[in-house]
Amino acid sequence: MTHTYAIPRLLVAAPQGRSGKTTITVGLIAALTARGLKVQPFKKGPDFIDPSWLTKVAACTCRNLDSYLMTREAIRATFIRHARQADLAVIEGAMGLFDGVDLQGSGSAAEIAKIVQAPVLLVINCTRMTRSVAAMVNGFANFDPQVKIGGVILNQVARSRHEKMLRAAVAEYCDVPVLGIMPKGTRFVIPDRHLGLIPAGENETLMEAVKQIGQAAENYLDIDGILQLARQWAPLREEREIPAAVGINWQKPAELPRDQQGPRIGVIRDRSFSFYYPENLEALVEAGANLVQLSALEDPELPDIDGLYIGGGFPEVLAAELERNQSFRQHLKQMIEKGLPVYAECGGLMYLGRRIHWEDKSYEMVGALPLDVEMLKKPQGHGYMHLEVLPGTPYFPEGKVIKGHEFHNSRVIDLPKDLAGSGCQFAFRVQRGHGIDGEYDGLRYKNVLALYNHIHAVAEPDWARHFVKLARSWRSRHYQDR
């Protein structure tokens, strides 16, 4: 039986990075939601920061679509599952439209557009450009016949004369409509830092920039034309029915039920640790876990939990606040020594070490792992990873090659040469990427696994099941103490 899903949709892309895709996407979603439409945002690739903004603006959790980590079937299922109830699905691309990991464009935004059959809204930075814009539009429109350039947004337009020349050139030489412009001006720029844009949840005052962008989008973009483009696309057809996503009922530490079925897994979600794929959290729930939201900045200690998940983020930016919460750090270290299962990614790895060194200052962290972390100005690991699982590593079978990605300006220092003597072991051998030292990633200590690599549960579904199994085992051993 064929199932049909009529989903208005489009993908926002550009000829290259830093063209204004995120600004236009944020503005477009803000303008659409202001009209009362429900927008489901998606982000191409393994990004965490841009999705935080898209989630904030749409008031709907942004999802990642990554054709390097996820199969074609998984991408379509993810897209349909979360977009089917929306009025419109908006996908933000990454880098240039056709830029991928190889000459064939594998992993590109164009590949996502083909998989979900979405038209492309092309954002062009028109700084110091007039008639040449037509050559650029035609080049992108004719490069791949399976990719439809449905409209163009002219970004960074200097003045009315500049706009007239750009519009005239596209109208004369191209069979692609101009669906709006965005004037040049720093007031429409979302601020950034060393790993990209500042996460949306870190500073609420930055939402003023979003309001300005949304108003500019309503004023300068052809919202009706963009809606028409998204709505005229053919429905998606699948041979199987795509089930709805599982919901997460977040529990608070002070309100945990005494007799609760299933293990409790704490998740540190605060301003310092905010990089989580929503599918990872949902996978834990589907595997039987109850999720408890924690803060390493404000909670005095760990509550009654059976496992702990620490994602990535910017612990270096909040290092002074993390250091001040000494009681939480000490209690976490005590629980780790008792064997509490802990899974920590990137920023979580940094937090579990002894210290973070940044900008000529040092900050005390948990101290469960025998290492310090030094922040540098340039990325120390950036891109997709392939890791071979070493013996004894939980979550994955020995010899399996798992995929993920890393993006960090930190590096591990002062790791003891006699690693086994410290009670630690490496968990993975790096086949692609950098990890901890270019050869290995992941440290195992008791029931802790801390690594730079970020996995996606859609690509690695066994991870959640094994995590919950470890938490369940801990729960059964310590239940009598509760």
CATH class of 253-481: alpha beta
User: In the chain, what are the domain boundaries?
Assistant: 3-238, 253-481
Bridge partners (DSSP) listed for residue 363: 356
Alpha carbon 282 to chain centroid, angstroms? 15
Which pLDDT belongs to residue 98? 97
Same-fold call for 3-238 versus 253-481: yes
Out of 63-77, 216-230, 257-271, 415-429, least confident range:
257-271
Answer yes or no: are the C-beta atoms of 43 and 92 closer than 8 Å. yes
pTM, whole model, 2 decimals? 0.92
Cα gap 175→172, rounded to integer Å: 9
Closest CA to 292 of 313, 258, 268: 268
Termini Cα distance of the chain: 51
Residues acting as catalytic residues: 346
Task: For residue range 345-401, list pLDDT tens digits in order.
Answer: 999 999 999 999 999 999 999 999 999 999 999 999 999 999 999 999 999 999 999
pLDDT band at 246; cut points 50, 70, 90: confident
pLDDT average, residue stretch 270-274: 94
Give kind and range of the element (H or E) at residue 150: strand 149-157
Query: Under a CB-based contact definition with an 8 Å cutoff, are residues 28 and 21 in contact?
Result: no
Dist. CA 479–CA 482, nearest whole Å: 6
Angle at the Cα of 472 (from 469 to 475), degrees rounded to 5? Answer: 155
CA-based nearest residue to 48, from 187, 202, 206, 252:
202
CB-side exposure of 328: number of CA atoms within 13 Å?
19
**Which token pair is 145?**
């016949």
Instruction: Tell me the C-alpha distance between 236 and 75, whole Å.
Output: 13
3-238 adopts what CATH topology?
Answer: Rossmann fold (3.40.50)
Residue type, 219: N
DSSP state of 247: P
